[in-house]
């Protein structure tokens, strides 16, 4: 079964694409992505599953702790995260130190393009699921025919 057919999955993939595509740091550990997406770091195991089941969008670093968006990994690491003005920098608020050099965030049109790909993959999974059930109406028709035949034989 396609992971796109799981309940809430398309929405979660879209949320992941949006968060990982637009945040100034391109790579964080799963718990920090979970916190950014849902507001709860404790959702980390759930999001690990989403990221693992959708390698078409998400990749783990070699240590299997940090995750990034595949498209962003193709950009050079030359984006200075401190160029964006903030009242409180994230690393000062949560006490975690990240490299101040990252890969550039995706543009709105690039995020929209990835979301479109996710929707197309979801639609394709639905079509494949429906195509896999072609035999159900055929079996129902055969059973109805056999029931009618049996009814006719018993009536005589």
pLDDT at residue 103, rounded to an integer: 87
pLDDT at residue 129, rounded to an integer: 83
Residue 128 has pLDDT above 60, yes or no: yes
pLDDT at residue 95, rounded to an integer: 46
CA angle at residue 92 from 72 to 28, to 5 degrees? 30
Task: State pTM to two decimals.
Answer: 0.73
What average pLDDT does the chain have?
86
Residue 108 has pLDDT above 90, yes or no: yes
User: Could you tell me the CA-to-CA distances from 136 to 104, 108, 139, 141, 150 in Å, in that order?
Assistant: 50, 43, 5, 9, 21
What is the tens place of the pLDDT at every residue in 44-100? 999 999 999 999 999 999 989 999 999 999 998 888 887 765 544 555 444 455 667
Q: Does residue 102 sit in helix, strand or coil?
A: strand
Residue 137 has pLDDT above 80, yes or no: no
| Contact present, 101 and 78 (Cβ < 8 Å) | yes
Break the chain into its structural domains and give their ranges.
3-155
What is the tens place of the pLDDT at every residue in 24-36? 999 999 999 999 9
């Amino acid at each position: 079964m396609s992971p796109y057919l799981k309940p809430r999955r398309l929405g979660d993939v879209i949320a992941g694409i949006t968060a990982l595509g637009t945040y100034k740091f391109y790579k964080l550990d799963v718990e920090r992505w979970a916190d950014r997406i849902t507001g709860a770091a404790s959702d980390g195991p759930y999001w690990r599953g989403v990221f693992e089941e959708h390698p078409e969008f998400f990749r783990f670093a070699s240590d299997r702790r940090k995750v990034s968006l595949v498209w962003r990994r193709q950009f050079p690491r030359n984006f200075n995260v401190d160029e964006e003005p903030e009242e409180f920098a994230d690393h000062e608020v949560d006490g975690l130190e990240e490299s101040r050099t990252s890969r550039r965030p995706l543009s709105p049109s690039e995020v929209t393009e990835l979301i479109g790909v996710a929707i197309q993959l979801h639609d394709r999974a639905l079509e494949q699921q429906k195509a896999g059930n072609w035999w159900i109406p055929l079996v129902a028709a055969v059973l109805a025919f056999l029931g009618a035949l049996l009814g006719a034989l018993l009536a005589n």
